[in-house]
């Protein structure tokens, strides 16, 4: 030892374990603290900027956050399978459901790169490690191309999964296999592309002919699709079950065979009076006009006579007291809501203001759903106003705007109170609201995480896999409607959102009502509509309002009259606007359809000097018909003029389009 050096005391061996323990505890505490700090940071979602996601992907100490960042980046990198594989590399770790998703997306990217060996390896790995996850259904589908046993496993384990429905359409070539595939579609996915043809084929095939019970299932599926003729042919004389009878009656009603439908509804109600199908049959019978439906109701069993639909139908013609008695006894039944409106509308058109006020003041407003509450409150205020009760009317309309500021009646209440109006000036009309990601808040952590990671298709498949029955409750309709719209199924998705608005009680679940209204106000094809609006100098909000009502933002739909595309243009009208004939494919192009629709709306606005009511009515019924309806009442009381439109379809259409326009321009949310 050097002369001036100091001796360093050696650590006694007895104290070494203590020091090591303290060091480990300190490191553990630091790890726990770091994990807690990471958990407090906001989780990435589709609103997170790309630059931040890229930093998380490279630098986050949390591997779970790195994987989430990569999955979010995956949705932003476009159709580049090589880049997708790069983002997914090394992310299939653990037993987490996201690992299954990574393996699936990696397999799909490998297939896109024609690397079949790598894709097969990923599919097999996915099936081995995660056999119960929805992603495994895709593995069974792909691997089942060479192993039919796996296709059967797919149909049994994931019956409603899109992969299973695709496999059912492809089932064959043996007649028995084709028949079984058709039966699977009838039970789990009758609206899946190609299902209708498979059902008809199974009904007709001479070998492996379906049994009577199987014919009932196939016919029920065809009836759900509205093909009553094919459903009846499929039954081939066999007796249908209750569900098929009900579906057949609905198909006959939609096809215009009201008399035949009423007979089937009556037969169903009398054969099984205590069943849910019988109750629905009675409700449908009660909605039919004319004396024949009253005769059918009179032939119902006694147990069904004293029900809200039957009594509401009978109260349509007697005095006000009979109506009020039904409303008092069944305030929460949809038949009572319709009775109140039909009788109040009649009184309003006949200018019987006191009668209208009495009917609209019946204490059922607490039971009305959000989709109907605005109508009741607007017309109550209107009848008060016409009787000189100006302060009461203003108070009623003010409450309406506080609770239900959206839609047609929100617009009319605002106009009556001098608090706003529609704008048809493209320079003053706001731009369309771009779709903005919002949490799903489903209560299912796995589903909510898939949604947060911008995996709408995976979220939809997760939802479908766990459900046996169609949604009925408002919350379920809202969730499924949002999921469907996220994967591009706007037709059914928006339809389910509208159903939710007719089932969610007003004054309850305010947060749900606000979420529902935001979803209903979210347009699609924003860029295409904005470009078309600019080219024709009309508001983009007007194009969106028409597109929502005409096609529910579904460019591939066609009407029974032959109208095609996003704004449902008739081919002759489109050819005139385009200066030459256009094929159906051109009209199904959202951009082209929006351009032509914008030109037509511009013409109608010019023809009617910018009157939005006449413009909307003309788009539906034609300018010639509308010209015959114009009278001074349009300026004095436009709401009454609209209610007097002789075509029920046009009457509803005008209110829907102008209500859409108000909502797109004002973006109101229901008050709590």
The residues annotated as belonging to the active site are: 550
Q: How far apart are the C-alpha atoms of 608 and 623, rounded to whole Å?
A: 9
Tokens of 438: 């919002």
- Quote the CA–CA distance of 29 and 6 in Å, as a whole number: 36
Contacts of 623 (CB under 8 A, 6+ apart): 604, 607
Q: Are 575 and 581 in contact (CB under 8 A)?
A: yes
User: What contacts 463, CB < 8 A, 6 or more positions away?
Assistant: 442, 447, 479, 480, 483
Question: Rounded to an integer, what distance in angstroms lies between the CA atom of residue 528 and that of residue 109?
Answer: 29
Q: For residues 439 and 453, what is the distance between their CA atoms, to the nearest angstrom?
A: 10
How far is the C-alpha of 25 from the C-alpha of 33, rounded, in Å? 12
Q: In terms of C-beta density within 10 A (0-12 exposed, 13-18 middle, 19 or more buried), how is residue 26 classed?
A: exposed
Count of positions (residues) in the chain: 672
| Mutual angle of helices 116-129 and 97-112, in 10-degree steps | 160
Nearest to 478 by CA among 332, 318, 369: 369
Cβ atoms within 10 Å of 510's Cβ, excluding its own: 15
Q: Which of 470, 502, 473, 497 is nearest to 485 (CA)?
A: 497
Q: Is 558 exposed, middle or buried (0-12, 13-18, 19+ CB in 10 A)?
A: middle
The beta-carbon contacts of 551-557 under 8 Å, at least 24 apart in sequence, are: 551/491, 552/490, 552/491, 552/493, 552/494, 552/495, 553/490, 553/494, 553/523, 553/524, 553/525, 554/490, 554/491, 555/525, 555/588, 555/589, 555/590, 555/593, 556/588, 557/491
By three-state DSSP, how is residue 134 classified? coil
Q: Which residue has the tokens 């305010």?
A: 510
> Rounded CA gap, 373 and 367, in Å?
9
CB 371 within 8 A of CB 332: no
What does 214-278 look like in DSSP terms, one character per residue?
Answer: HHHHHHHHHHHTT-HHHHHHHHTTPPP-HHHHHHHHHHHHHTT-HHHHHHHHHHHHHHSTTSHHH
173 cis-preceded (ω within 30 degrees of 0): yes
Residues whose CB is less than 8 angstroms from the CB of residue 554 and which lie 6 or more positions away in sequence, other chains included: 490, 491, 566
Q: Please name every residue paired with 477 in a beta bridge, in sequence order, or none if there are none.
A: none
Q: Where are the alpha helices (DSSP H) in 563-647?
A: 571-578, 584-588, 590-607, 612-621, 623-627, 633-636, 638-643
Taking alpha carbons only, the member of 474, 282, 283, 285 closest to residue 371 is 474
């Amino acid at each position: 030892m050097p002369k001036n050096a100091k001796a360093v005391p050696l650590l006694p061996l007895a104290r070494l374990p203590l020091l090591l323990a303290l060091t480990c505890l300190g490191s553990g505490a630091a790890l726990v603290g770091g994990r807690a700090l990471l958990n407090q940071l906001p989780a990435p979602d589709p609103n997170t900027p790309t630059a931040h996601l890229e930093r998380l992907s490279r630098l986050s100490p949390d591997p779970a956050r790195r994987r989430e960042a990569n999955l979010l980046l995956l949705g932003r990198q476009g159709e580049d399978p090589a880049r997708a594989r790069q983002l997914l590399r090394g992310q299939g770790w653990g037993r987490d459901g996201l690992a299954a998703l990574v393996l699936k997306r990696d397999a799909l990217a490998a297939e896109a790169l024609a690397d079949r060996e790598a894709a097969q390896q990923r599919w097999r790995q996915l099936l081995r490690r995660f056999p119960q996850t929805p992603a495994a259904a895709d593995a069974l589908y792909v691997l089942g191309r060479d192993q039919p046993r796996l296709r059967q496993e797919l149909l049994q384990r994931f019956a409603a999964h899109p992969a299973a429905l695709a496999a059912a359409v492809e089932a064959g070539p043996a007649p028995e296999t084709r028949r079984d595939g058709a039966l699977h579609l009838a039970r789990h996915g009758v609206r899946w592309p190609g299902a209708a043809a498979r059902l008809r084929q199974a009904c007709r095939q001479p070998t492996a002919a379906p049994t009577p019970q199987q014919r009932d299932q196939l016919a029920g599926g065809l009836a759900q699709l509205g093909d009553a003729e094919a459903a009846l042919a499929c039954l081939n004389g066999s007796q249908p079950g209750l569900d098929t009878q009900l579906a057949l009656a609905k198909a006959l009603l939609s096809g215009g065979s009201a008399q035949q439908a009423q007979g089937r509804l009556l037969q169903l109600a009398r054969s099984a009076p205590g069943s849910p199908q019988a109750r629905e049959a009675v409700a449908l019978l009660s909605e039919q006009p004319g004396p024949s439906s009253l005769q059918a109701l009179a032939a119902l069993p006694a147990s069904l006579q004293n029900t809200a639909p039957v009594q509401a139908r009978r109260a349509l013609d007697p005095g006000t007291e009979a109506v009020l008695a039904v409303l008092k006894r069944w305030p929460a039944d949809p038949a009572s809501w319709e009775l109140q409106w039909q009788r109040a509308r009649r009184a309003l058109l006949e200018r019987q203001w006191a009668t209208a006020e009495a009917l609209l003041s019946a204490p059922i407003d607490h039971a009305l759903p959000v989709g109907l509450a605005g109508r009741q409150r607007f017309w109550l205020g209107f009848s008060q106003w016409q009787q000189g009760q100006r302060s009461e009317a203003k108070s009623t309309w003010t409450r309406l705007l506080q609770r239900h500021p959206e839609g047609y009646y929100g617009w009319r209440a605002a106009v009556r109170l001098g608090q706003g109006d529609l704008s048809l000036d493209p320079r003053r009309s706001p731009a369309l609201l771009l779709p903005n990601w919002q949490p799903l808040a489903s209560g299912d952590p796995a589903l909510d995480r898939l949604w947060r990671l911008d995996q709408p298709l995976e979220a939809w498949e997760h939802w479908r896999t766990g459900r046996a029955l169609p949604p009925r409750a408002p919350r379920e309709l809202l969730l499924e409607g949002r999921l469907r719209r996220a994967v591009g199924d706007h037709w059914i998705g928006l339809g389910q959102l509208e159903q939710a608005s007719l089932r969610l009680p007003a004054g309850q679940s305010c947060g749900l009502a606000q979420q529902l209204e935001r979803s209903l106000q979210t347009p699609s094809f924003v860029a295409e509509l904005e470009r078309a609006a600019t080219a024709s100098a009309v508001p983009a909000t007007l194009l969106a309002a028409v597109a929502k009502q005409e096609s529910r933002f579904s460019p591939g739909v066609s009407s029974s009259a032959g109208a095609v595309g996003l704004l449902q243009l008739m081919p002759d009208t489109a050819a005139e606007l385009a200066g030459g004939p256009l094929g159906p494919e051109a009209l199904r192009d959202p951009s082209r359809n929006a351009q032509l629709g914008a030109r037509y709306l511009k013409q109608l606005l010019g023809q009617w000097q910018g009157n939005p009511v006449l413009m909307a009515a003309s788009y539906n019924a034609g300018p010639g018909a509308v010209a015959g309806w114009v009278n001074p009442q349009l300026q004095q009381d436009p709401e009454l003029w609209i209610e007097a439109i002789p075509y029920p379809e046009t009457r509803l259409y005008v209110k829907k389009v102008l209500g859409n326009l108000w909502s797109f321009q004002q973006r109101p949310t229901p008050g709590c």
